[in-house]
């Protein structure tokens, strides 16, 4: 996908078919392909800004969600922001779409919260991929529904 078409969509602006296709992609990648039954519907989608990548036919081939900062004890002044649920359809892997989605997520977060660090939970085998954007590991590997993850931080 040389020029991916990535749209920013608030949850309430998703059409029913689009929501269905978005959740179907996440299910195919995270549950079926990775053989990992986990609760994808976690209550955070309604407050997220969704990135939707479509191919020339309009089919959803990639996605991610950008999340508001969670409120720590300091009232949120220094709370990091995050993105997650980044998924790329197998037909679009090695095309640069994953990188385009991360770049777009970082752009969204920089626009909304320019001085906040970005913290993500990444599958351990993707440490080098996210490291290419400046993320560094901040935790030891931990099990997340049978898949090793690490937390990573991008300082701003």
In a domain, 108, yes or no: yes
What is the pLDDT confidence band of residue 79, given thresholds at 50, 70 and 90? confident
CA 85, CA 40: separation in Å to the nearest integer? 9
Instruction: Tell me which residue range forms the domain holding 52.
Output: 5-113
Residue 150 located in a structural domain: no
Closest Cα partner for 68 from 81, 79, 77? Answer: 81
**CA nearest neighbour of 7 among 102, 112, 101:** 101
Mean residue pLDDT across the chain: 92
Residue 108 confidence class, pLDDT cut points 50, 70, 90: very high
Give the predicted TM-score (pTM) of the model. 0.92
pLDDT one-digit tens code per residue, 11-65? 999 999 999 999 999 999 999 999 998 899 999 999 999 999 999 999 999 999 9
pLDDT band at 2; cut points 50, 70, 90: low
Dump strand ranges (E) for 103-141.
118-123, 136-137
What integer pLDDT is reported at residue 1 of this predicted model? 44
Contact 44, 67 (CB under 8 A): yes
**CA distances to 10, 39, 40, 50, 98 from 145, in Å:** 28, 9, 11, 23, 22
Cα atoms in the Cβ-side hemisphere of radius 13 Å centred on 99? 12
Could you tell me if residue 65 is inside a domain? Answer: yes
Return the CATH number at 76.
3.40.630.30
Report yes or no on 123 lying in a domain: no
How many structural domains comprise the chain?
1
131 is a domain residue: no
Residue 126 within any structural domain of the chain:
no
Span 50-76, pLDDT tens digits: 999 999 999 999 999 999 887 655 555
Q: Per the domain annotation, does 42 fall within a domain?
A: yes
Q: Report yes or no on 52 lying in a domain.
A: yes
Question: What are 154's strand-pairing partners?
Answer: 118
How large a percentage of the chain has pLDDT more than 70? 93
Which residues are CB-neighbours of 56 under 8 A, at least 6 positions away?
none
């Amino acid at each position: 996908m040389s020029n991916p078409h990535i749209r920013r969509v608030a949850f309430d602006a998703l059409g029913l078919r689009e929501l269905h296709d978005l959740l179907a992609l996440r299910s195919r990648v995270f549950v079926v392909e990775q053989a990992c039954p986990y609760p994808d519907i976690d209550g955070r989608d309604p407050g997220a800004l969704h990135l939707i990548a479509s191919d020339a036919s309009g089919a959803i081939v990639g996605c991610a969600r950008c999340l508001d900062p969670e409120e720590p004890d300091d009232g949120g002044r220094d709370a990091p922001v995050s993105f997650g649920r980044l998924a790329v359809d197998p037909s679009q892997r090695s095309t640069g779409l994953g990188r385009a989605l991360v770049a777009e997520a970082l752009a969204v977060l920089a626009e909304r919260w320019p001085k906040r660090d970005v913290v993500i939970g990444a599958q351990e085998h993707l440490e080098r991929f996210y490291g290419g954007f400046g993320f560094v590991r901040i935790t030891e590997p931990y099990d997340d529904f049978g898949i090793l993850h690490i937390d990573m931080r991008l300082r701003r």
